[in-house]
Every structure is written in structure tokens, then in C-alpha cells.
Amino acid sequence: MLVRQVRISPQSQDKLSRLKGKTGIKNWNILARWAFCYSLKEGSIPTDIEINHDGGVEMTWHTFAGEVGGVYEMLLSRWCMDNNLGTDPDTLVKYFNLHLERGIGYLSGTNFIRSIEDLLSLGFGE
């Protein structure tokens, strides 16, 4: 388990709320998974910013990752290795949070996500 609690900033919570409305996806964790993976796919190293989680969404790691938590951990570890960042627990937690926040920003900043079909197109490159 990478973290016990996944925390999302209030600003990202607002962005996720708008995405929930656009896509019809009712659960935070589903959109958070998409955001995390989309940020990893982008390839670059997220800007190292301080994230204020006070007042945002909080969910357990199991709620975020479900039964495939090891897959998310492996994806992040591989990304960190590919970027020569190390895979110690502090580094993994740091980049998990940065990718999650950045991914939410990316998904909410793309004006072409107006429906779940647009999200699927983004994920599957159609």
C-alpha cells in the first residue's frame, strides 16, 4: 500500500466535481484513477509544488485503487525509475500526489471533455 489515505486538494475537488457532472461518473475514485494514469502517460516530471489538502476529498488507498493497488504502485515505481528519481517510500508518495493533482488539472483543463465518451476517447486515443 503506497499510502493509507489518498488526499485531494479543495481546488482539485472542485475540478473533480465539474468532471463528475460532465461525465456522469459518480465516484471520486474512478476519476482520480483516470487523472493519475493520464498524468503518468504525459511523461514529464510534475512541477514540485506544495499541495494544501486541508478541506479536500479523502479516501482510503483501497477506495482509490481497488483490488489492483499493486498495479498503480508498479506504474508509479516504473515511472520514477525511468526518470531517475528513486523508489524510496517518500519519493513514491511525493510523486503519487503530484501526479494525482496534475492529472486532475489536465482532465479538467481539457475543454473537449464534455461527456464520458470524450474521456474514453482521451484514454483510448480514438
CATH class of 5-124: mainly alpha
| Residue 51 pLDDT greater than 80, yes or no | yes
| Residue 1 pLDDT greater than 80, yes or no | no
User: What was the pLDDT predicted at 70?
Assistant: 94
User: What was the pLDDT predicted at 120?
Assistant: 79
Higher pLDDT, residue 2 or 102: 102
With beta carbons less than 8 A apart as the criterion, state whether 6 and 100 touch: yes
| Helix intervals (H) in 24-115 | 28-42, 61-65, 69-82, 89-109
Phi, psi of 60 (to 5 degrees): -70, 160
pLDDT in tens, 10-47: 999 999 999 998 889 999 999 999 999 999 998 899 99
pLDDT in tens, 87-126: 999 999 999 999 999 999 998 886 777 788 877 777 666 5
- 14: amino acid identity, one letter: D
Q: Domain locations in the chain?
A: 5-124
- Burial code (b: 16+ CB inside 10 Å, e: under 16) for 37-60 equals bbbbeeeeebeeeeeebeebbebe
The three grid cell numbers given for residue 20, joined into one nine-digit string: 463528475
User: What was the pLDDT predicted at 91?
Assistant: 96
User: What was the pLDDT predicted at 22?
Assistant: 87
With beta carbons less than 8 A apart as the criterion, state whether 106 and 39 touch: yes
